[in-house]
Structure 1
């Protein structure tokens, strides 16, 4: 279970307890994934974090029906965060960085960096089970949850429609966008050359993302809805957080934080 953090001045134990329960992993494995509603109205999935493939795939199958690709962002987005998750020590340590930005000027509001022992071996298609526990711990370090998460990785542009951005959205209850550097699945026409132009990423007849030209003369990026957001809004927020670089400032900032030793 994620450790509870007391309020700084200890004056309000109820606030401290509420903060610690915003994002919670089960101390004991949950037999089946459970949908719960938080005090602030988010609906999030709780499930066990297995260490073997069969259990992980069973959880994927069980939670897939809860993925929401309709837009349910708050009317007033005050914070948007980048999430970057990686590994150190030959994969033995999972590192998660979150940088919260003010979308009006992309200034840094808050940040968190955690390192945790990796819970699951690498299994193709189940990378999110390795990555997300540390990301949840990083979210717990923040004084307030961001309104929107932009995750270095894929959302529904995943063979199971459950990339790390989608999975993180389900277990946190927060809106998420996947920002991928490489195609994981699907097909697409060549991306247009003009900045901010895009072409659909398709899997059969289903649109699972967008191949976006974020900067002229460099490779495009792969944007997909994670959870609680549609493709058009995901593209819009990616464009709003782009500067002169290939990647949006959200995930760039998280990558910079993660790179510090």
Structure 2
């Protein structure tokens, strides 16, 4: 479901406020994803060009199942809290070109850890109907550092509300900031991120998608 695409920041904020109540914080019954898709975007500095990548991995083996990278352009301004309106159209195009439908979307960005509780991961989840998770490198809110061990976490708070978790994916490595996107709960989101980040700080889905879109940008493909 996509309403008329906003042309201004005010229209984009209004759309987020209308759609935020559609976020479902509960996973489907018996949710056990076999495939997970990483989504990322690389921008060409100094222009409106970008490349959007989606990489689908087998969750058990982390082997690739499918991948797509598409060129795109964005004419929406760079406004904090409205990144989805720069990236979403190209990411949706990439998702549509996959030969498989992933069980889970893992976004390099925020879900409900967002001023209007509707970041990129939530927007993608609601539009596609797929369970989605936001995994960000920087926090949107306040947190106390979690313990040093892998799997340690602390609440991520905004205006006193828990909007996510600071999650340590590797021992004594900077935490990531996990929030639900759509059709997933926070315990499940963190468990899936840890499963996908078996060796590095970032989930393998994100690492692969980042590499794919950056390689495309470098080669001009």
Question: What residue ranges of structure 2 are gaps of 5+ in the alignment?
Answer: none
1:95 counterpart residue number: 51
1:21-60 aligned within 5 A: 45-60=1-16
Deviation of 1:49 after TM superposition, in Å, equals 1.7
Which blocks of at least 5 consecutive residues in structure 1 are unaligned?
1-44
Change in Cα spacing, 1:74 to 1:110, as seen in structure 2 (3 Å) is farther
Equivalent in the alignment of 1:256:
211
Alignment of 1:1-261 (within 5 A): 45-72=1-28, 75-183=31-139, 185-260=140-215, 261=219
TM-score, length of structure 1 as denominator length: 0.79
Separation in structure 1 between the aligned mates of residue 7 and residue 191 of structure 2, nearest angstrom: 37
**In structure 2, distance between residues paired with 1:114 and 1:89:** 17
More displaced, 87-96 or 133-142? 87-96
SS in 2 for 1:162: coil
- Distance (whole Å) between structure 2 residues aligned to residue 212 and residue 206 of structure 1: 17
Larger displacement relative to structure 2 (223-232 or 65-74): 65-74
SS of 1:245's equivalent?
Answer: coil
Q: Secondary structure at the match of 1:90?
A: coil
Higher RCO (C-alpha 8 Å, min separation 6): 2
Q: Give the drift of 1:89.
A: 4.4
- State how far apart, in whole Å, the 2-side matches of 1:226 and 1:79 are: 17
Q: Tell me if the contact between 2:42 and 2:210 (Cα under 8 Å) persists in the aligned partners.
A: no
CA 212–75 in structure 1, closer or farther in 2 if over 3 Å, else same: closer
Give the TM-score normalised by the residue count of structure 2. Answer: 0.93
Aligned residues: 216
- Which is higher, the Rg of structure 1 or of structure 2? 1
After superposition, give the CA deviation of every residue in 1:153-178 in whole Å (9 maximum; x if it has no partner): 11111111111111111111111000
Q: RMSD of the alignment, in Å? A: 1.4
Residues 161-196 of structure 1 deviation map (CA, whole Å, 9 limit, x = unaligned):
11111111111111100010011x221111211111
